[in-house]
């Protein structure tokens, strides 16, 4: 495969940033759900549905 370094860099960067965004969104959602459940238990059932 020609230009392998550039290809690996492009796909590696894509994987890194995309995974970062996905994990951050997932973690933020989980944190918000737990915090909301602690404050208002009724809201937890609504949010998890």
Partner 1 sequence: MYARVDATPSLAPPPARNLHRFANPGRFLRLSGRVLPVLALAGLILSVTGIAWGLFWASADWQQGDAVRIMYVHVPFAWLASSGYVGLAVCSVLSLVWRHPLADLAAAEISPVGAGCAALCLATGSLWGKPMWGAWWVWDARLTSMLVLFFLYLGHVALVRAFDDPQRGYRAGAILALVGVVDLPIIKFSVDWWNTLHQPSTITLTGAPTMYIGMLWPLALCALGFTFGFAAVVTARLRAAVMERRIRALLLARAQEAAA
Q: Which residues lie near partner 1 (CB under 8 A)?
A: 1-4, 6-7, 9-11, 13-14, 17-18, 21-22, 25-26, 28-29, 31-33, 35-36, 39-40, 43, 46-49
Least gap, CB of 15 to partner 1 (angstroms): 9
Least gap, CB of 42 to partner 1 (angstroms): 11
Least gap, CB of 43 to partner 1 (angstroms): 6
CA distances, 27 to each of 10, 12, 32, 45 (Å):
26, 22, 9, 18
């Amino acid at each position: 495969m020609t230009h392998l370094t550039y290809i690996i860099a492009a796909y590696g960067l894509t994987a890194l940033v995309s995974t970062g965004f996905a994990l951050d969104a997932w973690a933020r959602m989980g944190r918000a759900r737990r915090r909301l459940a602690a404050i208002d238990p009724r809201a937890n059932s609504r949010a998890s549905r």
